[in-house]
Chain A
Amino acid sequence: MLIGRVVGSVVSTRKDEKLEGKKLLVVQVHNHENKPVDQYVVAVDSVQAGPGDMVLYATGSSARQTELTEGRPIDAVIMAIVDSWDLGGANVYEKWA
């Protein structure tokens, strides 16, 4: 999985019927040091994430292993909202800081 920040959402009226009702969020990838990377992913939300949230997303066929995405043309799903992380004992990100 990779971590990213929700920076926006995508609305699409004309789309594959299997995508109907799915919340599509734009996620900007952050690296382990919490630096934003010039890499963006459109992911389906499965955990009620919102703008500004730091999230974890899974890609590939793993992304279809939720009740929301099973059997649908989806290759990225947000599966957790990150509270904090640390590297080598040093805190890098804290949601409530």
Chain B
Amino acid sequence: MYLARVTGRVVASHKYKGLEGVALQWIQPLDEDGKPMGGQLVACAAVSTGPGDLVHYVDGREAALACPVKFVPVDAAIIGFVEQAVSKGVHIGRTPKG
């Protein structure tokens, strides 16, 4: 499970069955200082989030378990919206627009 920022949305009308209605979003994983950690990837949104939001996500097979249909080929899923993250006493990853 990692901290990340939602950076964009992906539209795919033709998906593996069971993934209809599941939102796909670009996310940028973040480190403990709120700095980018590795490259961006696409995740299924198991909770409602949008671009700019701070979130946490799970990777691997567990990601599919967060989806409405659990037997789906999904390897990353957003499992929570983060309201506040404090690291080393400092608020991190505040949404730039406030």
Say whether A associates with B.
yes
| Interface residue B74 (Cβ < 8 Å from any Cβ of A) | yes
* Number of inter-chain CB pairs below 8 Å: 101
What does DSSP make chain A's interface, helix, strand, loop or mixed?
Answer: mixed
Q: Contacts A47-B15, A66-B16: A87 and B7 contacting too (C-beta < 8 A)? A: yes
Using A1-B42, A86-B8, A88-B7 as known contacts, say yes or no to A60 and B74 having CB atoms under 8 A apart: no
Residues of B within 8 A of A79 (CB): 15-16, 19, 72-74
Residues of B in contact with A, size category: 20 to 34
**8 Å CB contact of B19 from A48, A80, A89:** A80
Interface contacts beyond A61-B60, A77-B73: sample of 17 additional A-B pairs, CB < 8 Å, sorted by A: A1-B42, A1-B75, A2-B41, A2-B42, A31-B39, A32-B8, A32-B39, A47-B16, A56-B12, A63-B73, A66-B16, A79-B19, A79-B73, A82-B11, A85-B26, A87-B51, A88-B7
